[in-house]
Structure 1
């Protein structure tokens, strides 16, 4: 049990963060550099900006790192109830994602699945539900289509081999799941025929409601020639989120982010199982063990007012967006650990007698119960908190 202490009660836990940049070929050489005020273009593609305490890339703060600061006094940083619930570990991870090419088809485990997996399957023992809010138009595939919709899409493509596979599962209790299994476990020669047929059909100038999805499939196939993932995308729901749109992606939901810029908030985990469209290792057996093809993804638009607080059904995190306006406004979540990220323009965060000036792209950490912090300025603040209060 983690116990409160007089030292914790006297400790001030507040300060600017030094985020970690994650490089990847699917990232951008300009987006993160420009959002954070650094020279552009960057020398390498920058895919993610991490603001959190994950062991793989903890943010710096006040001469140390956020994970070390939390470990030194979890009650001061997280508050007693959150520290107790999560065993003293920081519960969430805030990121900016900047994919310019498709980010692998993937799924993440829930808490039980992460613990039950074979040794070596995951890099940590935590679940990884996610949420995101679009900063620019953000193209994604998230969740799977109903069987009738899959049949309609496949019929419009008129690829005989794929049509037969769709017909073969028509009487199944879980036809889309069975179709996914059959695609991912098909022999390489059959996968090659399917991919060539789908690429030819998607590139034939088809119109109608699925034209944008077909274009995205075609781009994915060009980026990863011969990858069955391009066919798997046809089973998934294609969307282009508008700036401000929010979506929650629970553990188990199949998804692939295509291009754009978003702020992502997730549980403090880096557990990923990939099914395709990536040079990284795949784990088809584990993906099929944990995938959930029944969960529907429904984007949410911001609520009226300066503060938008998006609901989640997990205790690890909650995302709030604070828009600029006249005068200072109080930040939500005083009784929770918080990370505040400023975008587009500078902001000033005032916490008691402490003033933090955040330039666009800068972030800070506010410990639980630190103060009733306020924000002012022309920037938009993306505020990450735990999903549970102290």
Structure 2
């Protein structure tokens, strides 16, 4: 597609601020909470991450699309972002193992995307003013109508989105003869989480977001997992009750991102909406148990209350985010329950935190050995 053929487009923020750009060639409008990701690579994984459902993505890397798309490099069965805002959109790509270009992939999924936006200025504005709802559109001459559409978009705070991305029916991942069995609650699970568990000798049954303890227990698992996902954790009452039941029965439990927040809520620790969240693949974490630093992949707009976590006698903070000292990991004292706010399954990387999967599998193996002797 030639540059001069592209239509004008815009980003309209909830506070009335407008940034102009050009359409990549798909007409229409898209709404959602605007956020930004600082990763230099991995755009296809970002676009298919269920945790981004309902969000307009601003990519800070200047070039998007230059290495095309590969059908295997996805975190779910479809694009999950509401729309894309970038600086330079590449209609051609130069990677040998690409299956297609990014434009054709967007066209297939009817995703509205705009480029030629001053993303440095836009990201700076979001950093200063916080995440807010926005609309992107090629209908640049009808601002009043766009404002009406934007006003109807619900706030991310208090919004339950797990039901929009969760599986409708249970399914299995891995080798059914694997030594370890895990029941996983899907509240927006990424495929690479399941890959990391299965390649470590686990057979996983994945359950819908509103499943109860009896549902997950029916698989007779060695342990339980609560996934990442989009939206506010507080409306996830079924998931919180499930976590409470697993903890009450003293069973192994691991949670990532939204799952981490659910486990915190199950222990009476509240969550809050962050000013603009953490999204990228270069976030520094300190492991308080080892004293070591980890560079991590993150994607969350909510966090757990640090003061309440420190005051909870049953909970220990295991990881902190070094940029703002928010809680990045917890574990329950005297129980095999732990969680992290970031993504140890990071794809395309970094891989500093994959040891957490090893740790979980080791716990399940030891627990199984103890159970077999009783």
TM range (shorter): under 0.3
Larger radius of gyration: 1
TM normalised by structure 1 equals 0.23
TM normalised by structure 2 equals 0.23
Whose relative contact order is higher, 1 or 2, with alpha carbons under 8 Å and at least 6 apart? Answer: 1
